[in-house]
Structure 1
């Protein structure tokens, strides 16, 4: 039919023929290699746009040894924070024409197989690297299974031999408690994160460190350990109110915005 485009995939040979160049020249333009004149490059790009040519991703990866794809591993406890991190990664990578393959490990047993999964993804999919979000404190990456030339970046966790995007959770929690004490608060409710996560474990460690250094006993009745969610903050406040001496609480320290919003919402309902 007139005006309806043939949906069959346009081949690189057709682009080369219409542009009046060889297939190799089109390939060099696609892979942004040198040794192509500006005039030729512009002509090839024009034809690519005109024909709506879409290079076959697998074929390109075989020739260039690159896939323009990064594997992102998301480990347990899929909170709003972590999903926002994934969105941020994807948004930034798109600026460089990269895509992500998201691999969610839901259980502790799946997390134990992380090193093997990285190896398999490298061998089978040939992704150009991987990002691991919230590697658990007890998790170890097995160096014998992971190719040495395979880039790995950690987010929200840290290992000595790997680059990471990370905050000092211990110091951050310590400083937060110290600030509350400077403001005159001594009876504080603590809404902490699950201890299977690096951030949850280390932030509670920061709280305990402060109390130990000051020689003060930490009242475990007013420590809630749960997921980094709105519901967890709500539930923590409900539990605190069932304790004796609840009225003595003068401050709440929640280790995430979601938990803080949950506890604040519960307090408003009680007013």
Structure 2
């Protein structure tokens, strides 16, 4: 890991004494505005963090990782957090858990907090924004592992995810093989890699069977909120509504199901349904839901393994891309389209 900047480095960069830097940091005495600006600029350029520097000087071995997840109200991320903590504990690592609630501003604040807390590495689910802040961590040689999602163009970061393209293609192909040609897709936002890749998988399955894409049937929605109900209603109101839908946005599954129940849409008689992810209740409701089960245990295992190895400098510098296969579970929520 790159040696953390010290207060002496800041003083040298700013062209002032160590005592001046100390007064700026602790607000313990007067400093001319111009000199204060020089010190603050040097701190920013060097990525100086007092606690990180203190840890470096004491040679304390980092034993804490930051876990920055999107939304613990989403069962997928709640279970992922639980498994990451378990994997970390087995390696005698502590976890500082923070959430972004899919808000780039909260993500920026959380990244600053994790730096100030001097964590040894970060496992994160990025919002797709704040690229410069994630880049800063990488430039400081802070071990970072993206889990579930990545940021396109940020190639120096390790990534652990499921095979999103393959999983969406399998789900769509399953419906096509049963005779459906009007298939809706409700993915996540298209500024996330999961949203982009699941649309690609859907398109691939259609293209392989010679079915044209209808843009009215592809409705990306945010992970938070209840937009899934609105887009589902809009698709069903089309002159040629879908006979099947893939809900590839895990956070919107319950919202869509509630809307269909309220609208008395019978599954699978009126509409076949495939969902991401396999929650504990998806095989208990009637009918049990055909689902793409994401291997949360494996996502947690690989993420902690990678950040742990990076913290101990046991891996070559080239980034790792780990893609884990998801499991397709056929149940009773899909059938051939009803004729007439």
Task: State the TM-score, normalizing by the size of structure 2.
Answer: 0.50
The separation in 1 between residues aligned to 2:129 and 2:201, in whole angstroms, is 15
CA gap of 1:184–1:145, structure 2 versus 1, over 3 A, is closer
Unpaired runs of 5+ in structure 2? 1-53, 265-340
Distance change in 2, residues 1:222/1:137 (3 Å): same
Q: Distance in 1 between matches of 2:137 and 2:66?
A: 19
1:265 aligned onto 2:263: no
Distance in 2 (CA, whole Å) between partners of 1:238 and 1:155 is 32
Find the counterpart in structure 1 of residue 238 from structure 2.
243
* Partner Cα distance (1:264, 1:138) in 2: 33
SS in 2 for 1:165: strand
The yes-or-no answer on 1:219 pairing with 2:211 is: no
1:169-180 correspondence to structure 2 within 5 Å: 169-180=164-175
* CA RMSD across the alignment: 3.6
One of 87, 90, 95 as aligned partner of 1:95: 90
Contact 2:76 2:250 in 1 (8 A): no
Distance in 2 between residues matched to 1:266 and 1:117, nearest whole Å: 37
The partner residue of 2:200 within 205, 221, 224 is: 205
The structure whose RCO (Cα within 8 Å, separation 6+) is larger is 2
Q: Distance in 2 between matches of 1:242 and 1:77?
A: 33
- Asked whether the 8 Å contact 2:126–2:146 carries over to 1, the reply is yes
Shift of 1:255: 0.7
Bigger Rg over Cα: 1
Please say if residues 126 and 149 of structure 2, whose CA atoms lie closer than 8 Å, have aligned partners that are also in contact.
Answer: yes
Q: Distance in 2 between matches of 1:257 and 1:178?
A: 19
Change (3 A) 1:128 1:136: same
Q: Which runs of 5+ in 1 are unaligned?
A: 1-58
**Cα distance, 1:209–1:226 mapped onto 2, change above 3 Å:** same
CA deviations 1:83-131 (Å, max 9, x no partner) are 33223222332334432223444534565x59x946x844x43212111
Using the TM superposition, give the Cα deviation of residue 244 of structure 1 relative to its aligned residue in structure 2, in angstroms: 1.8
TM-score between the two structures when normalised by the length of structure 1: 0.61
- CA-CA distance at 1:203 after TM superposition: 0.6
Pair 1:137–1:129, CA change in 2 (3 A): same
- Give me the whole-angstrom Cα distance separating, in 1, the residues matched to 2:83 and 2:90: 11
Say if 1:190 and 1:224, in contact at 8 Å, map to a contact too.
yes
Number of residue pairs the alignment of both structures matches:
206
Contact 1:193 1:226 in 2 (8 A): yes
Change over 3 Å in CA distance of 1:188–1:77 after alignment to 2:
farther
1:14-163 matched pairs, under 5 angstroms: 63=58, 65-75=60-70, 79-105=74-100, 107-108=103-104, 117=111, 121-122=114-115, 124-134=116-126, 136=128, 139=131, 141-142=134-135, 146-148=139-141, 150-158=142-150, 160-163=155-158
Runs of 4+ in structure 1 deviating by more than 6 angstroms, as ranges, are 59-62
Partner Cα distance (1:199, 1:77) in 2? 18
Give the 3-state SS of the residue equivalent to 2:139 in structure 1.
coil
